[in-house]
Structure 1
């Protein structure tokens, strides 16, 4: 990276060079490993835990695909900041010249020192990796199975359109929040020269059975993970 003297001008009116790249098209899905019949058996074996004793029935069970979103981002920031350099000098030093300025020593805690005003150019790289569950909360990446994912196609989306759960937080909202975090002005910056950022958002559709339990007029919902068979109420 080359530098010009104009790059170190704190009062320059030159606009910062901002490059943003956001990819939201990567989508994968996992197929259900728990059959509907097995899900029904799991639901039946756990129905008394929902309402306790009494006549409890499973009134509905349906397969849905829940979106889990992986957000990965990187930003390279190029900026300048003011920086004073201090040096201790001998008692006999009257003054020094730096460029076209003359600087006189000042008294220090011990001896005398000079303070030379300077401007530093900083290259800072930031990175982030966030993983969201369908409710918009943080999720451990260990949740994703290590194998078994398939790429989402237009025909798959069309076939399962009614089974796709809407996320509580949209891709655009995630991208905006991540971008603001990556591109935030450093606290020590006096002028931003450039920012190059890249964000990749990947959606993973995970299968789950949604269950409705009914006891008289009361109803309660439950969910069965269609890969490992775990039930949540």
Structure 2
């Protein structure tokens, strides 16, 4: 997922960018509001989430949030030291999807990023909403939950489809096991890990593409886009 980090402190931005990259995010760093707004042209420039610091050097973060909301339907998470309730309410009223107070736990921030990204329909790099994903000879129709390979329909269970759709919407991005279990099974129960492995094996078999889903040892899985 492409993520826009708007943060004027280079040291903070570098540290956070490194963490986000390890979790599969493609991070672009903007140091002020003007850089952030330019990065979002045209139509959001394909970003999936914006992390917006409020203490920017050129303009107030609240003002930047309002401009972002007018330009694109992108989830915005405000990240700031302003912890009072009035500031939070103001930010949410301006269109922010979430509000995280510094200092924050990185794990919680990642969870919040994934949570807000699930609320918005997937968009392609042009900003257009995608309802059909095409990966090589495989086609995934999200509204009808239909999967076909070389024109032949592949019968998947509900969880198998949810798992495939999750991975296929971000080809090449590594999804952590905990994230997959949380999003597909709506639980954090560790015992679901074995169920995940069984579903991955079943998908590889049913799609007849054993190399489609790559295991990233110690982390999770990612979908390797097949060649058309």
Higher relative contact order (CA 8 A, sep 6+): 1
What interval of TM-score do these two structures reach, taking the shorter chain for normalisation? Answer: under 0.3
Q: Which structure: greater strand fraction?
A: 1
- If the length of structure 1 is used for normalisation, what is the TM-score? 0.21
TM-score of the superposition, structure 2-length normalised? 0.21
Flag the structure with higher helix content: 2
Larger gyration radius, structure 1 or structure 2 = 1
